[in-house]
Amino acid sequence: MDNLPVIAIRFALYADLMVLAGVTAFTLYALKPEERGTALLPLAKPALILSLLGLLLSGAGMIALVAAMMGTSLWAADASVIGEIVTQSAIGSAWVVRMVAVAIALVAALALGRSPHLARYWLLASTAVAIATLVWTGHAGATEGWTGTLHRLSDIVHMLAAAVWIGGIAAFAWLLFQPMAHQSDAQIRIAHRALEQFSRVGTLAVGLIVLTGLINSLSLMGLPHPDTLFASRYGKLLLIKLGLFAAMLVLASANCWRLTPTLGAAIEQDDLAHALRGLRQSLVLESSAALTILALVAWLGTLELAIAKG
């Protein structure tokens, strides 16, 4: 695989920022104000860890990018070249904005204990800006004219909608994978209500992902013939990504229409084990597909768009 360090760091950075933004958003739309500062879904410590990790990954990503451009190892990247790229290129400008945004997220994470309401909004906004800067260094950043502007805006919405979905999966993993002995009836009822709320927000997120995905594909490739997709590495990876996304849609539909109502009935009947088992299995599959998609996105961003090439 080409540029493995770049791909690995991009993948980790995508996952880190999307989970941070998505879980923060989840606490705002799925939990009541009095539930946000409880042990039900603690945010302060995870936000602090993810913010620090975001700073480290973003810094490492710049070093890995320069090393790949120079054809050297990470340890041999030239500091002067790094300085030139940071100060004299669009990639460098995006990196500086991202570092500032993640630093603000770190400060907001530290402030969650003292001013939880305002700090959450700062945390969400700063992380969203950091995610948006990832678009500037991808294929959308290279598109020119009004088409490029539309493509970048579409890609930003695409990434933020994906963050909402991925963050929701992470939040439910925390809520539903705790041992039964540690979960009260009230916690299960809150988780069930949050599932119903997420189904509405998730439907909007999926709609935005599909719409912006179509815009992005048309901006990058037009309407490629299926044969040309199968003939290139980029096309093959894109088809795998679309297949995994379709699988996530099936799992999300099952969660919404079958597993969540089953949990509601199980709460009333005091028979939670079977319902929770089904939700947990679905979350494992959905999170695995989401992480694989992020890995593919990180890889696709390093490949040429010439669909006819193998």
Decide if pLDDT at 111 tops 90: yes
Q: Which amino acid is at 165?
A: W
Phi, psi at 180, each rounded to 5°: -55, -35
The CA-based angle 26-32-124, given to 5 degrees, is 35
pLDDT given at position 224 = 63
Q: Quick one: what percent of the chain has pLDDT higher than 90? A: 48
Asked whether residue 13 is assigned to any structural domain, the reply reads: yes
Task: Find tokens 């999300």 and name the residue.
Answer: 252
307 neighbors 232 (Cβ within 8 angstroms)? yes
Task: Find tokens 């494992």 and name the residue.
Answer: 284
Asked whether residue 306 is assigned to any structural domain, the reply reads: no
Asked whether residue 115 is assigned to any structural domain, the reply reads: yes
Asked whether residue 309 is assigned to any structural domain, the reply reads: no
- Please give, one letter per residue, the 3-state secondary structure of the chain: CCCHHHHHHHHHHHHHHHHHHHHHHHHHHCCCHHHCCCCCCCCHHHHHHHHHHHHHHHHHHHHHHHHHHHCCCHHHCCHHHHHHHHHHCHHHHHHHHHHHHHHHHHHHHHHCCCCHHHHHHHHHHHHHHHHHHHHHCCCHHHCCHHHHHHHHHHHHHHHHHHHHHHHHHHHHHHHHCCCHHHCCHHHHHHHHHHHHHHHHHHHHHHHHHHHHHHHHHHHHHCCCCHHHHHCCHHHHHHHHHHHHHHHHHHHHHHHHHHHHHHHHHHHHHCCCHHHHHHHHHHHHHHHHHHHHHHHHHHHHCCCCCCCCCC
The CA-based angle 187-163-290, given to 5 degrees, is 85
Asked whether residue 229 is assigned to any structural domain, the reply reads: yes
Asked whether residue 128 is assigned to any structural domain, the reply reads: yes
Question: How would residue 309 be classed by pLDDT, with cut points 50, 70 and 90?
Answer: very low
Asked whether residue 307 is assigned to any structural domain, the reply reads: no
Least confident stretch, 55-59, 83-87, 224-228? 224-228
Tens-place pLDDT, residues 270-280: 778 888 889 99
pTM for the full predicted model: 0.89
Question: Rounded mean pLDDT of 40-61?
Answer: 94
Asked whether residue 48 is assigned to any structural domain, the reply reads: yes
Q: How many domains does the chain have?
A: 1
Which domain does 195 fall in, by range? 3-301
